[in-house]
Amino acid sequence: MSIDEIVHTCSNEKVAQAAVASLGFDFARRVRIEAESHGTTTGALVARLVHEFGETAHLDDCRVIKLAMVKADQPLLCGLRVLLETRLESIRGASVRQWSLCNLPGALPSLEIGQLG
């Protein structure tokens, strides 16, 4: 079980949606509210955050997630939750306009604020 597996699977919007739903009602609700505040769906938000993590994560970020996954009953879900907790905090307060800006045609937009690192 690895972070690469989280990134590979949860970069898919539908898989991301299902994974968040399996993390419990309260957490899924928090993610849905954040997604709605950025004018997107839960699956799209999570897929994007996971994809961006895969592109930009630093070694320390990965260590925190791996440590959480070590003794977890469901290591991938545990790792996803830790990843999302950090990333959701970093985008809180970003405007819909900031959220929708895109660097390259067809690419996932990058956040302007609060990147880890």
Residues 15-38 pLDDT 10s: 999 999 999 999 999 999 999 988
- Whether residue 108 is contained in a domain is answered as no
- Whether residue 7 is contained in a domain is answered as yes
For residue 3, what are the contacts with CB-CB under 8 A and spacing of at least 6? 54, 57, 62, 65, 66, 79, 83
- Whether residue 43 is contained in a domain is answered as yes
- Whether residue 116 is contained in a domain is answered as no
3-state secondary structure string across 10-36: HCCHHHHHHHHHCCCHHHHHHHHHHHH
Residue 114 clears pLDDT 70, i.e. is over it: no
Number of domains observed in the structure of the chain: 1
The domain containing residue 40 runs over which residues? 3-100
Q: What is the pTM of this model?
A: 0.78
What helix, strand, coil percent values describe the chain, rounded to 5? Answer: 65, 0, 35
- Whether residue 112 is contained in a domain is answered as no
- Whether residue 109 is contained in a domain is answered as no
